[in-house]
Structure 1
Amino acid sequence: MPHPNIARRQSGFTLIEIAIVLVIIGLLLGGILKGQELITSARVRNIISQLDGTKAAFYAFQDRYRALPGDFSKATTQIQGASQDGDGNGVIAGTEAIAAWDHLSHAGFINGNYVYNATEGPTTTPINPYGQRLQLIQDAVYADAGTPAARTNLKTGPSIPVDILAEIDRKIDDGNAMRGTFRFSAYAGGGTAPTPANCYDSTTGDWKAGTGEANCGAAVLF
Protein backbone atom coordinates (compact mmCIF):
# COMPACT_ATOMS: atom_id res chain seq x y z
CA MET A 1 0.00 0.00 0.00
CA PRO A 2 1.51 3.41 -1.00
CA HIS A 3 2.57 5.76 1.73
CA PRO A 4 -0.18 8.40 2.28
CA ASN A 5 2.28 11.28 1.66
CA ILE A 6 3.19 9.84 -1.76
CA ALA A 7 -0.50 9.66 -2.71
CA ARG A 8 -0.97 13.31 -1.79
CA ARG A 9 2.06 14.39 -3.81
CA GLN A 10 0.74 12.54 -6.89
CA SER A 11 -2.80 13.98 -6.69
CA GLY A 12 -2.09 17.43 -8.18
CA PHE A 13 0.41 19.94 -9.58
CA THR A 14 2.85 21.88 -7.50
CA LEU A 15 2.90 25.69 -7.57
CA ILE A 16 6.14 25.61 -9.54
CA GLU A 17 4.59 23.34 -12.19
CA ILE A 18 1.53 25.60 -12.48
CA ALA A 19 3.77 28.66 -12.77
CA ILE A 20 5.78 27.02 -15.56
CA VAL A 21 2.60 26.17 -17.46
CA LEU A 22 1.31 29.74 -17.11
CA VAL A 23 4.62 31.12 -18.36
CA ILE A 24 4.49 28.83 -21.40
CA ILE A 25 0.88 29.84 -22.15
CA GLY A 26 1.87 33.49 -21.80
CA LEU A 27 4.74 33.07 -24.22
CA LEU A 28 2.51 31.33 -26.74
CA LEU A 29 -0.18 34.01 -26.53
CA GLY A 30 2.45 36.72 -26.77
CA GLY A 31 3.88 35.09 -29.88
CA ILE A 32 0.44 34.84 -31.47
CA LEU A 33 -0.41 38.47 -30.72
CA LYS A 34 2.99 39.65 -31.97
CA GLY A 35 2.51 37.62 -35.15
CA GLN A 36 -0.90 39.21 -35.73
CA GLU A 37 0.61 42.64 -35.11
CA LEU A 38 3.33 41.99 -37.68
CA ILE A 39 0.77 40.78 -40.24
CA THR A 40 -1.36 43.89 -39.68
CA SER A 41 1.67 46.16 -40.01
CA ALA A 42 2.68 44.45 -43.25
CA ARG A 43 -0.80 44.90 -44.71
CA VAL A 44 -0.88 48.54 -43.69
CA ARG A 45 2.51 49.17 -45.32
CA ASN A 46 1.41 47.29 -48.44
CA ILE A 47 -1.69 49.42 -48.94
CA ILE A 48 0.14 52.67 -48.18
CA SER A 49 2.84 51.71 -50.69
CA GLN A 50 0.20 50.97 -53.34
CA LEU A 51 -1.54 54.29 -52.74
CA ASP A 52 1.69 56.30 -52.70
CA GLY A 53 2.92 54.60 -55.87
CA THR A 54 -0.31 55.37 -57.71
CA LYS A 55 -0.33 58.99 -56.54
CA ALA A 56 3.25 59.42 -57.70
CA ALA A 57 2.34 57.88 -61.06
CA PHE A 58 -0.63 60.24 -61.39
CA TYR A 59 1.47 63.35 -60.84
CA ALA A 60 4.31 62.10 -63.04
CA PHE A 61 1.86 61.42 -65.86
CA GLN A 62 0.35 64.88 -65.45
CA ASP A 63 3.79 66.47 -65.51
CA ARG A 64 4.87 64.63 -68.67
CA TYR A 65 1.70 64.93 -70.76
CA ARG A 66 0.07 68.02 -69.23
CA ALA A 67 -3.10 65.96 -68.99
CA LEU A 68 -4.83 63.59 -66.59
CA PRO A 69 -4.58 59.81 -67.05
CA GLY A 70 -7.84 58.57 -68.47
CA ASP A 71 -8.85 62.04 -69.64
CA PHE A 72 -5.88 62.46 -72.03
CA SER A 73 -7.36 63.14 -75.47
CA LYS A 74 -4.18 62.19 -77.38
CA ALA A 75 -3.32 59.03 -75.47
CA THR A 76 -3.57 56.66 -78.44
CA THR A 77 -1.22 58.77 -80.54
CA GLN A 78 1.31 59.74 -77.86
CA ILE A 79 1.42 56.62 -75.67
CA GLN A 80 2.47 53.40 -77.37
CA GLY A 81 -0.09 50.69 -76.75
CA ALA A 82 -2.77 52.93 -75.25
CA SER A 83 -6.15 51.93 -76.61
CA GLN A 84 -8.57 54.65 -75.50
CA ASP A 85 -8.59 58.45 -75.57
CA GLY A 86 -10.28 60.66 -73.01
CA ASP A 87 -12.27 63.78 -73.84
CA GLY A 88 -9.63 66.18 -72.51
CA ASN A 89 -11.99 68.27 -70.37
CA GLY A 90 -9.75 68.11 -67.30
CA VAL A 91 -11.96 65.66 -65.37
CA ILE A 92 -11.58 61.89 -64.95
CA ALA A 93 -15.19 60.80 -65.24
CA GLY A 94 -17.22 57.76 -66.27
CA THR A 95 -15.24 55.15 -68.16
CA GLU A 96 -12.20 57.45 -68.16
CA ALA A 97 -11.60 55.95 -64.71
CA ILE A 98 -10.97 52.64 -66.49
CA ALA A 99 -8.89 54.26 -69.23
CA ALA A 100 -6.69 55.83 -66.55
CA TRP A 101 -5.03 52.48 -65.82
CA ASP A 102 -4.51 51.86 -69.54
CA HIS A 103 -2.75 55.22 -69.84
CA LEU A 104 -0.65 54.86 -66.68
CA SER A 105 0.52 51.33 -67.42
CA HIS A 106 1.36 51.87 -71.10
CA ALA A 107 3.20 55.09 -70.25
CA GLY A 108 5.30 53.03 -67.82
CA PHE A 109 4.22 54.75 -64.62
CA ILE A 110 2.70 51.69 -62.93
CA ASN A 111 3.44 47.98 -63.06
CA GLY A 112 1.18 45.73 -65.08
CA ASN A 113 -0.38 45.92 -68.50
CA TYR A 114 -3.93 47.18 -68.19
CA VAL A 115 -6.05 47.43 -71.32
CA TYR A 116 -9.14 49.58 -71.58
CA ASN A 117 -12.58 48.00 -71.70
CA ALA A 118 -15.90 49.70 -71.02
CA THR A 119 -16.50 47.13 -68.27
CA GLU A 120 -14.01 46.85 -65.40
CA GLY A 121 -12.27 43.54 -64.88
CA PRO A 122 -8.95 41.91 -63.94
CA THR A 123 -7.28 43.08 -67.18
CA THR A 124 -8.41 46.70 -66.88
CA THR A 125 -7.85 47.66 -63.25
CA PRO A 126 -5.37 47.02 -60.40
CA ILE A 127 -6.64 45.36 -57.25
CA ASN A 128 -5.95 45.93 -53.57
CA PRO A 129 -4.38 43.23 -51.34
CA TYR A 130 -7.88 41.90 -50.63
CA GLY A 131 -8.72 41.29 -54.28
CA GLN A 132 -10.99 44.29 -54.94
CA ARG A 133 -10.52 47.00 -57.54
CA LEU A 134 -8.98 50.43 -57.07
CA GLN A 135 -10.49 53.47 -58.74
CA LEU A 136 -9.00 56.77 -59.90
CA ILE A 137 -11.79 59.24 -60.64
CA GLN A 138 -13.33 62.62 -59.90
CA ASP A 139 -16.50 62.12 -57.88
CA ALA A 140 -17.99 62.65 -54.43
CA VAL A 141 -18.11 59.03 -53.23
CA TYR A 142 -16.35 59.64 -49.94
CA ALA A 143 -17.31 60.63 -46.40
CA ASP A 144 -17.65 64.26 -45.38
CA ALA A 145 -19.04 66.15 -42.40
CA GLY A 146 -21.28 68.04 -44.84
CA THR A 147 -22.05 67.47 -48.50
CA PRO A 148 -18.95 66.20 -50.32
CA ALA A 149 -17.87 68.01 -53.48
CA ALA A 150 -16.57 66.17 -56.53
CA ARG A 151 -12.79 65.83 -56.26
CA THR A 152 -10.15 63.74 -57.94
CA ASN A 153 -9.52 60.80 -55.63
CA LEU A 154 -7.99 57.35 -55.49
CA LYS A 155 -10.15 54.68 -53.88
CA THR A 156 -8.65 51.72 -52.05
CA GLY A 157 -11.50 49.41 -52.99
CA PRO A 158 -13.60 47.51 -50.43
CA SER A 159 -13.09 44.34 -48.35
CA ILE A 160 -10.45 46.01 -46.17
CA PRO A 161 -10.81 45.50 -42.39
CA VAL A 162 -11.67 48.70 -40.55
CA ASP A 163 -8.70 48.21 -38.21
CA ILE A 164 -6.36 48.37 -41.20
CA LEU A 165 -7.92 51.58 -42.53
CA ALA A 166 -7.87 53.20 -39.09
CA GLU A 167 -4.14 52.47 -38.79
CA ILE A 168 -3.48 53.78 -42.31
CA ASP A 169 -5.39 56.97 -41.51
CA ARG A 170 -3.35 57.50 -38.33
CA LYS A 171 -0.11 57.01 -40.26
CA ILE A 172 -0.77 59.20 -43.30
CA ASP A 173 -3.52 61.61 -42.23
CA ASP A 174 -5.53 62.70 -39.17
CA GLY A 175 -7.20 59.45 -38.10
CA ASN A 176 -10.68 60.76 -38.93
CA ALA A 177 -12.86 59.05 -41.56
CA MET A 178 -14.67 62.28 -42.51
CA ARG A 179 -11.81 64.78 -42.59
CA GLY A 180 -8.40 65.26 -44.17
CA THR A 181 -7.15 63.55 -47.30
CA PHE A 182 -7.88 59.93 -46.28
CA ARG A 183 -11.57 59.21 -45.75
CA PHE A 184 -14.12 56.42 -45.78
CA SER A 185 -15.58 55.51 -49.19
CA ALA A 186 -18.53 53.28 -50.06
CA TYR A 187 -17.12 52.45 -53.50
CA ALA A 188 -18.03 48.83 -54.30
CA GLY A 189 -14.96 48.04 -56.44
CA GLY A 190 -16.26 44.75 -57.76
CA GLY A 191 -17.33 43.53 -54.33
CA THR A 192 -20.04 44.49 -51.85
CA ALA A 193 -20.25 48.21 -51.12
CA PRO A 194 -19.14 48.93 -47.53
CA THR A 195 -21.83 50.05 -45.08
CA PRO A 196 -20.83 53.43 -43.61
CA ALA A 197 -22.38 52.76 -40.20
CA ASN A 198 -20.27 49.61 -39.84
CA CYS A 199 -17.01 51.40 -40.60
CA TYR A 200 -17.09 54.78 -38.88
CA ASP A 201 -19.10 56.97 -36.52
CA SER A 202 -20.91 59.59 -38.60
CA THR A 203 -21.01 61.99 -35.64
CA THR A 204 -17.36 61.94 -34.62
CA GLY A 205 -15.71 60.51 -37.72
CA ASP A 206 -13.91 57.88 -35.64
CA TRP A 207 -13.17 54.62 -37.42
CA LYS A 208 -14.89 51.70 -35.69
CA ALA A 209 -11.65 49.83 -35.11
CA GLY A 210 -11.97 46.81 -32.87
CA THR A 211 -15.40 45.82 -34.18
CA GLY A 212 -13.98 43.22 -36.52
CA GLU A 213 -15.76 44.74 -39.54
CA ALA A 214 -14.02 43.29 -42.58
CA ASN A 215 -15.66 45.18 -45.45
CA CYS A 216 -14.63 48.82 -45.44
CA GLY A 217 -12.93 51.10 -47.95
CA ALA A 218 -11.42 54.55 -48.25
CA ALA A 219 -10.47 57.28 -50.68
CA VAL A 220 -7.35 59.45 -50.90
CA LEU A 221 -8.31 62.94 -51.99
CA PHE A 222 -5.93 64.75 -54.35
Structure 2
Amino acid sequence: MKHSQAGFTLVEIAIVLVIIGLLLGGALKGQELIHSAKAKAVAAEFRNTATMIAAYQDRFRAMPGDDRAATTHLGGSANGNGNGTIDGAWNSTALSNPDGSPAESTYVWQHLRLANLAPGSAASPSAGDWEPRNAEGGRIGIQSATPFTGMRGRVFVCQDNISGRIAQQVDTTMDDGKPDEGAVRFGSALGSAASTVDDNQSYIICTGL
Protein backbone atom coordinates (compact mmCIF):
# COMPACT_ATOMS: atom_id res chain seq x y z
CA MET A 1 0.00 0.00 0.00
CA LYS A 2 1.20 3.48 -0.80
CA HIS A 3 0.84 6.19 1.79
CA SER A 4 0.63 9.77 0.56
CA GLN A 5 2.38 12.34 2.75
CA ALA A 6 0.62 15.70 2.75
CA GLY A 7 2.63 18.92 3.19
CA PHE A 8 1.68 22.53 3.75
CA THR A 9 -0.05 24.25 0.89
CA LEU A 10 1.18 27.62 -0.37
CA VAL A 11 -1.85 29.26 1.22
CA GLU A 12 -1.08 27.75 4.61
CA ILE A 13 2.57 28.82 4.41
CA ALA A 14 1.49 32.32 3.42
CA ILE A 15 -0.85 32.52 6.43
CA VAL A 16 1.92 31.40 8.79
CA LEU A 17 4.30 34.00 7.36
CA VAL A 18 1.68 36.72 7.75
CA ILE A 19 1.14 35.75 11.40
CA ILE A 20 4.87 35.76 12.07
CA GLY A 21 5.15 39.16 10.41
CA LEU A 22 2.34 40.56 12.53
CA LEU A 23 3.95 39.23 15.72
CA LEU A 24 7.33 40.71 14.83
CA GLY A 25 5.75 44.00 13.83
CA GLY A 26 3.85 44.18 17.11
CA ALA A 27 6.98 43.44 19.12
CA LEU A 28 8.99 46.10 17.29
CA LYS A 29 6.19 48.63 17.64
CA GLY A 30 5.94 47.89 21.36
CA GLN A 31 9.68 48.37 21.76
CA GLU A 32 9.47 51.66 19.88
CA LEU A 33 6.68 52.84 22.19
CA ILE A 34 8.80 51.97 25.23
CA HIS A 35 11.77 53.96 23.88
CA SER A 36 9.51 56.90 23.05
CA ALA A 37 7.97 56.88 26.54
CA LYS A 38 11.42 56.84 28.18
CA ALA A 39 12.62 59.73 25.98
CA LYS A 40 9.55 61.77 26.92
CA ALA A 41 10.16 61.01 30.61
CA VAL A 42 13.81 62.13 30.41
CA ALA A 43 12.79 65.37 28.64
CA ALA A 44 10.09 65.94 31.26
CA GLU A 45 12.66 65.59 34.05
CA PHE A 46 14.68 68.41 32.49
CA ARG A 47 11.63 70.67 32.29
CA ASN A 48 10.43 69.79 35.79
CA THR A 49 13.84 70.44 37.33
CA ALA A 50 14.05 73.83 35.61
CA THR A 51 10.62 74.70 37.01
CA MET A 52 11.64 73.65 40.53
CA ILE A 53 14.79 75.81 40.45
CA ALA A 54 12.87 78.83 39.14
CA ALA A 55 10.18 78.38 41.81
CA TYR A 56 12.82 78.22 44.57
CA GLN A 57 14.50 81.38 43.29
CA ASP A 58 11.18 83.16 43.07
CA ARG A 59 10.26 82.22 46.66
CA PHE A 60 13.60 82.71 48.44
CA ARG A 61 15.61 84.89 46.03
CA ALA A 62 18.39 82.31 46.15
CA MET A 63 19.54 79.21 44.32
CA PRO A 64 18.76 75.84 45.94
CA GLY A 65 21.94 74.39 47.37
CA ASP A 66 23.59 77.82 47.31
CA ASP A 67 21.02 79.44 49.62
CA ARG A 68 22.97 81.08 52.46
CA ALA A 69 19.82 81.31 54.59
CA ALA A 70 18.52 77.77 53.98
CA THR A 71 18.35 76.99 57.70
CA THR A 72 16.11 80.03 58.17
CA HIS A 73 13.99 79.37 55.09
CA LEU A 74 13.70 75.63 55.45
CA GLY A 75 15.13 74.43 58.75
CA GLY A 76 17.06 71.19 59.10
CA SER A 77 19.49 71.75 56.25
CA ALA A 78 22.89 73.28 55.52
CA ASN A 79 23.45 76.79 54.20
CA GLY A 80 25.24 77.43 50.94
CA ASN A 81 27.81 80.19 50.47
CA GLY A 82 25.39 82.44 48.55
CA ASN A 83 27.78 83.24 45.70
CA GLY A 84 25.07 82.72 43.06
CA THR A 85 26.38 79.40 41.75
CA ILE A 86 25.79 75.76 42.68
CA ASP A 87 29.29 74.56 43.49
CA GLY A 88 30.30 70.94 43.07
CA ALA A 89 29.73 68.13 40.58
CA TRP A 90 26.18 67.31 39.52
CA ASN A 91 26.54 63.63 40.54
CA SER A 92 28.41 64.15 43.81
CA THR A 93 27.10 62.42 46.93
CA ALA A 94 29.55 64.10 49.32
CA LEU A 95 27.89 66.11 52.09
CA SER A 96 30.89 68.41 52.48
CA ASN A 97 33.78 69.78 50.44
CA PRO A 98 37.44 69.17 51.34
CA ASP A 99 37.46 72.51 53.22
CA GLY A 100 34.51 71.37 55.35
CA SER A 101 31.90 73.60 53.69
CA PRO A 102 28.60 72.01 52.58
CA ALA A 103 28.61 70.47 49.10
CA GLU A 104 26.03 72.63 47.33
CA SER A 105 25.35 70.31 44.40
CA THR A 106 24.45 67.60 46.90
CA TYR A 107 22.19 69.80 49.02
CA VAL A 108 20.22 71.08 46.00
CA TRP A 109 17.68 68.29 46.23
CA GLN A 110 17.28 68.51 49.98
CA HIS A 111 16.54 72.23 49.67
CA LEU A 112 14.00 71.60 46.92
CA ARG A 113 12.31 68.86 48.94
CA LEU A 114 12.19 70.85 52.17
CA ALA A 115 10.57 73.64 50.14
CA ASN A 116 7.97 71.10 48.91
CA LEU A 117 9.04 71.70 45.32
CA ALA A 118 10.40 68.21 44.65
CA PRO A 119 9.00 64.83 45.70
CA GLY A 120 10.93 62.46 47.94
CA SER A 121 12.42 62.35 51.41
CA ALA A 122 14.58 65.22 52.66
CA ALA A 123 15.99 63.14 55.53
CA SER A 124 19.77 63.12 55.57
CA PRO A 125 21.10 59.90 53.99
CA SER A 126 24.36 58.35 55.08
CA ALA A 127 25.96 58.96 51.67
CA GLY A 128 24.20 62.21 50.81
CA ASP A 129 22.35 60.55 47.97
CA TRP A 130 19.31 62.80 47.52
CA GLU A 131 19.47 62.72 43.73
CA PRO A 132 16.34 61.34 42.03
CA ARG A 133 16.53 58.72 39.29
CA ASN A 134 15.40 58.98 35.69
CA ALA A 135 13.46 56.51 33.54
CA GLU A 136 16.70 54.64 32.74
CA GLY A 137 17.72 54.35 36.39
CA GLY A 138 20.39 57.05 36.14
CA ARG A 139 20.96 60.08 38.34
CA ILE A 140 19.53 63.56 37.85
CA GLY A 141 21.78 66.32 39.16
CA ILE A 142 22.52 70.04 39.00
CA GLN A 143 25.74 72.07 38.82
CA SER A 144 26.93 75.49 37.68
CA ALA A 145 30.19 74.36 36.06
CA THR A 146 29.91 73.90 32.28
CA PRO A 147 29.60 70.14 31.65
CA PHE A 148 30.40 70.10 27.93
CA THR A 149 32.68 72.50 26.06
CA GLY A 150 30.80 75.36 24.47
CA MET A 151 27.55 75.01 26.42
CA ARG A 152 25.91 78.17 27.71
CA GLY A 153 23.93 78.64 30.88
CA ARG A 154 24.14 79.64 34.50
CA VAL A 155 22.99 76.27 35.77
CA PHE A 156 23.11 72.86 34.09
CA VAL A 157 20.92 69.83 34.69
CA CYS A 158 22.48 66.46 33.82
CA GLN A 159 21.25 62.88 33.68
CA ASP A 160 23.28 59.72 33.17
CA ASN A 161 22.77 56.10 32.12
CA ILE A 162 20.85 57.27 29.03
CA SER A 163 21.13 54.98 25.99
CA GLY A 164 22.25 56.53 22.73
CA ARG A 165 18.87 55.99 21.10
CA ILE A 166 16.99 57.76 23.87
CA ALA A 167 19.58 60.55 24.18
CA GLN A 168 19.20 61.21 20.45
CA GLN A 169 15.41 61.35 20.76
CA VAL A 170 15.63 63.76 23.69
CA ASP A 171 18.08 66.02 21.85
CA THR A 172 15.87 66.02 18.76
CA THR A 173 12.77 66.83 20.83
CA MET A 174 14.32 69.58 22.94
CA ASP A 175 17.03 70.98 20.69
CA ASP A 176 18.72 70.39 17.32
CA GLY A 177 19.37 66.64 17.40
CA LYS A 178 23.15 67.17 17.37
CA PRO A 179 24.95 65.74 20.43
CA ASP A 180 27.83 68.24 20.28
CA GLU A 181 25.89 71.42 19.50
CA GLY A 182 23.09 73.51 20.96
CA ALA A 183 21.51 73.78 24.39
CA VAL A 184 21.29 69.99 24.89
CA ARG A 185 24.48 67.95 24.57
CA PHE A 186 25.57 64.47 25.53
CA GLY A 187 28.66 62.30 25.68
CA SER A 188 30.12 59.23 27.34
CA ALA A 189 31.86 61.51 29.86
CA LEU A 190 31.83 65.22 30.66
CA GLY A 191 34.12 67.42 28.61
CA SER A 192 33.77 66.93 24.90
CA ALA A 193 30.32 65.93 23.66
CA ALA A 194 29.91 62.97 21.30
CA SER A 195 30.15 63.56 17.56
CA THR A 196 28.48 60.26 16.66
CA VAL A 197 25.88 58.24 18.52
CA ASP A 198 26.01 54.55 19.45
CA ASP A 199 22.52 53.27 20.32
CA ASN A 200 23.97 50.65 22.67
CA GLN A 201 26.22 53.00 24.65
CA SER A 202 25.20 54.88 27.79
CA TYR A 203 25.59 58.65 27.82
CA ILE A 204 25.44 61.64 30.14
CA ILE A 205 23.03 64.21 28.74
CA CYS A 206 22.88 67.83 29.96
CA THR A 207 20.96 71.00 29.26
CA GLY A 208 21.66 74.58 30.25
CA LEU A 209 19.20 76.85 32.06
Partner residue in 2 for 1:96: 104
1:31 aligns with 2:39: no
Aligned-residue offset at 1:195: 8.5
Provide Cα deviations, 1:103-143, integer angstroms capped at 9, x if missing partner: 1110011111234579542xx2212223332211111222x
Q: Give the Cα separation in 1 of the matches to 2:187 and 2:78.
A: 27
Computing the radius of gyration over CA atoms, which structure comes out larger, 1 or 2?
1
RMSD: 2.4
Counterpart of 2:80 in structure 1: which amino acid?
A: G
CA contact (8 A) 1:169 1:175 kept: yes
The counterpart of 2:69, out of the listed 74, 99, 105, is 74
Q: Which runs of 5+ in 1 are unaligned?
A: 187-193
Q: Which runs of 5+ in 2 are unaligned?
A: 89-102
Instruction: Count residues with an aligned counterpart.
Output: 195
Partner residue in 2 for 1:221: 208
Q: Give the Cα separation in 2 of the matches to 1:68 and 1:118.
A: 24
Counterpart of 1:200 in structure 2: which amino acid?
A: A
Q: Give the TM-score taking structure 1 as reference length.
A: 0.79
SS of residue paired to 1:217? strand
Partner residue in 2 for 1:111: 119
| Identical-residue share of aligned pairs (%) | 36
Counterpart of 1:2 in structure 2: which amino acid?
A: K
Q: Give the Cα separation in 1 of the matches to 2:112 and 2:165.
A: 30
SS of residue paired to 1:27? helix
CA contact (8 A) 1:134 1:154 kept: yes
Q: Give the Cα separation in 2 of the matches to 1:22 and 1:130.
A: 35
Q: Give the Cα separation in 1 of the matches to 2:205 and 2:191.
A: 11
Residues 64, 185 of structure 1: CA spacing in aligned structure 2 closer, same or farther, 3 A cutoff? farther
Counterpart of 2:57 in structure 1: which amino acid?
A: Q
